[in-house]
C-alpha cells in the first residue's frame, strides 16, 4: 500500500514536496497577513534570499582568500609545469594551510536555484501548498466540475472558480473547499495565475490580461542581464582582466591562451537569460515574478558584497603593490648610488 502511494506521488514530488510544503506554509502565513498573493511572493523571496546572506558572505570571504593566494598558486604551477599530480598536491596543501576551500565560492551562488523547484510547486499548486486544500479534495473538485489534471495544476481550477459563478457555488456547496481557500492572485493589475503569451493571436484573445503580463518576461530578462553584468564587473579580478584585454587589443602578442572557465562563464551569461526568458512563457506569471524579485535581491547583495569585501581587497592589493614598487625603486636607487661611490673610490 505504502509503495503504491509512493509510486503515485512520483520522484519529483518525493524530492521537492517537503521543500514546497515548508515554503508553502511560509507563503500561507504571508498571504494571510498581507491578503495579497503578489506581496506574499515578494516577502517570501526576501526571506529566502535573506537566509542565504550569511552563506554568501562566507563565500565572498573564501573568494578573497583564494584571490590573495593567486601569486603563490602561479608560483607552484611554474615550479611543477609537467607534474600535475605534484602541482595539485601542493595547491591542496596551500589551500589547507590557509583555510581555503576552492569549491566554497562556486557552490553558494547556485543555492538559489534549489529554491526554484519548490517555488514552482507553490505557484503551480497554490491550493494544496498555500491554501491547505488536500489533494483528494482538489481531485474531487476536478471530477465535480468535469476538469482533468487539476491536482498537478491548480491554476486552471482557480481561474474556473473565479470566472464561473455556478462552478464557484457548486464547489463551495460541496464542502470540498471554502471561499477563503480560493486565492486572489492579482497584483498591481497583473493576473499572476496566468501564463504570459508571446504569440499575437494568443494575446488578442484577451489583451487586457496578456498585454500587461508581457512586463514579467521583459523584467526577468532585464534583471538577469543586469545581474550577470554586475557579477562580472564586481569580481576582484575584473579590473585586471579589463587591463589584460586592453593590452591584448593594442598588442596581439600579449594575448593569453583562452581560459576554459572564462569561456564557460561567457556562454552561461548568454544561455541563462535565454532559458529564463523562455521559461517565463511556460509557467504562471507568479513564477516569473519570484524570479524578478530574486534577481533584484541578487543585485543588491552583489553591491553589498562589493563594498564590504571586494573594494577593500582591491584597495589593499593596490596599496601593497605600490609599497613593493616604491621598495624596488628605492633598492635600485641605492644600488646605483653604491655603484657610483665605488667608481669614485677606484679613481
Summarised one tens digit per residue, pLDDT across range 201-241 is 888 888 888 999 999 999 999 999 898 888 777 766 656 65
Q: For 131-170, what is each residue's pLDDT tens digit?
A: 999 999 999 999 999 998 899 889 999 999 998 999 999 9
| Nearest-angstrom CA–CA distance, 104 and 212 | 41
Contact 127, 37 (CB under 8 A): no
Question: What span, in angstroms and rounded, lies between the C-alpha atoms of 260 and 186?
Answer: 45
- 257: pLDDT strictly greater than 70: no
Which run of H or E residues covers position 186? strand 186-187
Question: For residue 7, what pLDDT is reported?
Answer: 42
SS3 254: helix
Q: How many CB atoms lie within 10 A of CB 92?
A: 11
- State which H helix or E strand residue 191 sits in: strand 190-191
Amino acid at each position: 500500500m505504502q509503495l503504491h502511494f509512493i509510486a503515485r506521488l512520483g520522484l519529483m514530488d518525493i524530492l521537492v514536496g517537503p521543500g514546497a510544503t515548508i515554503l508553502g506554509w511560509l507563503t500561507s502565513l504571508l498571504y494571510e497577513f498581507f491578503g495579497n498573493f503578489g506581496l506574499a511572493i515578494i516577502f517570501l523571496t526576501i526571506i529566502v534570499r535573506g537566509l542565504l546572506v550569511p552563506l554568501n558572505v562566507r563565500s565572498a570571504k573564501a573568494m578573497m582568500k583564494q584571490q590573495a593566494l593567486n601569486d603563490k598558486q602561479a608560483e607552484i604551477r611554474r615550479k611543477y609545469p609537467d607534474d600535475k599530480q605534484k602541482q595539485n598536491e601542493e595547491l591542496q596543501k596551500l589551500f589547507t594551510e590557509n583555510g581555503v576551500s576552492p569549491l566554497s565560492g562556486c557552490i553558494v551562488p547556485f543555492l538559489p536555484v534549489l529554491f526554484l523547484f519548490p517555488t514552482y510547486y507553490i505557484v503551480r499548486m497554490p491550493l494544496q501548498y498555500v491554501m491547505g486544500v488536500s489533494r483528494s479534495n482538489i481531485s474531487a473538485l476536478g471530477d465535480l466540475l468535469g476538469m482533468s489534471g487539476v491536482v498537478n495544476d491548480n491554476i486552471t481550477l482557480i481561474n474556473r472558480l473565479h470566472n464561473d459563478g455556478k462552478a464557484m457555488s457548486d464547489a463551495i456547496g460541496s464542502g470540498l473547499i471554502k471561499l477563503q481557500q480560493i486565492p486572489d492572485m492579482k497584483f498591481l493589475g497583473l493576473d499572476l495565475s496566468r501564463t504570459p503569451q508571446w504569440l499575437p493571436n494568443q494575446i488578442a484573445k484577451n489583451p487586457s490580461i496578456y498585454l500587461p503580463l508581457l512586463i514579467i518576461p521583459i523584467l526577468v530578462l532585464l534583471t538577469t542581464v543586469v545581474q550577470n553584468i554586475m557579477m562580472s564587473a564586481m569580481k576582484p579580478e575584473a579590473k585586471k582582466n579589463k587591463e589584460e584585454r586592453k593590452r591584448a587589443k593594442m598588442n596581439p602578442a600579449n594575448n593569453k591562451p583562452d581560459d576554459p572557465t572564462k569561456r564557460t562563464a561567457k556562454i552561461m551569461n548568454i544561455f541563462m537569460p535565454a532559458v529564463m526568458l523562455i521559461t517565463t512563457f511556460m509557467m504562471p506569471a507568479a513564477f516569473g515574478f519570484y524570479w524578478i524579485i530574486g534577481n533584484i535581491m541578487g543585485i543588491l547583495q552583489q553591491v553589498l558584497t562589493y563594498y564590504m569585501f571586494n573594494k577593500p581587497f582591491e584597495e589593499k592589493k593596490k596599496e601593497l603593490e605600490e609599497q613593493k614598487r616604491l621598495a624596488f625603486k628605492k633598492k635600485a636607487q641605492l644600488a646605483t648610488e653604491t655603484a657610483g661611490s665605488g667608481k669614485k673610490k677606484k679613481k
